[in-house]
Structure 1
Amino acid sequence: MAGNPRNGRPYRRLVDQLRAQRLPCWLCGHNIGYQLDARHPLSFTLDHLVPLSRGGKLLDPANARPAHRRCNSAKGNRAAPHQPVRSSRRW
């Protein structure tokens, strides 16, 4: 009987590698509280650029991004947000 793939060693290794980089949240750009309890809204979670429900790969490092728990939950299974285009001057 197969277990949850997110409890497996390869997934935990990917999470640990991403956590070790101490990058900011890719969704909001603010620092992540890596020392916070996992249930805290500003704690670290692994988010997938392409959601798993839309064909994203679970163990692909290119699909893994650091995110706040709150930002990851708010994104849901939507595709990656587009960054607003800034004009060169104020109109």
Structure 2
Amino acid sequence: MAGNPRNGRPYRRLVDWLRSQRLPCWLCGHEIGYELDARHPLSFTLDHLVPLSLGGDLLDRTNARAAHRRCNSSRGNRTTAKPQPRASRRW
């Protein structure tokens, strides 16, 4: 194996394709700060619907989802997202 597959051109192309769609976070439904630094909790990350550790395909577009870094990290390798409680209005 020649290095990390996430550093390869096909993976970067998948990330760029998903980023260009400017979708909201698939886990919480809120807008993603696509212009934020990659280390920011509300920045864009590519999340996999079926986690790679459970057999998900790294480069499959149907397995790729846009998510906040924080939401992606809190989900871990579970196949379902924890429901996010939402207030009925801003207090």
The normalised TM-score by structure 2 is 0.88
Gaps of 5+ in 1: 84-91
Check if 1:42 corresponds to 2:49. Answer: no
Name the structure 2 match of 1:11.
11
CA offsets 1:27-67 (integer angstroms, 9 cap, x no match)? 00000000000000000000000000000000000000000
Check if 1:54 corresponds to 2:54. Answer: yes
- C-alpha RMSD of matched pairs (Å): 1.5
User: How many residue pairs align between the two structures?
Assistant: 84
Q: 2: CA distance between counterparts of 1:40 and 1:30? A: 15
Partner SS state of residue 67, structure 2: strand
Name the structure 1 match of 2:73.
73
Taking only the aligned residue pairs, the percentage that are identical comes to 81
* Contact persistence 2:18–2:66 (CA under 8 A): yes
Q: 2: CA distance between counterparts of 1:82 and 1:32? A: 18
Name the structure 2 match of 1:29.
29
Q: 2: CA distance between counterparts of 1:81 and 1:54? A: 15
Larger Rg: 1
The normalised TM-score by structure 1 is 0.88
Gaps of 5+ in 2: 84-91
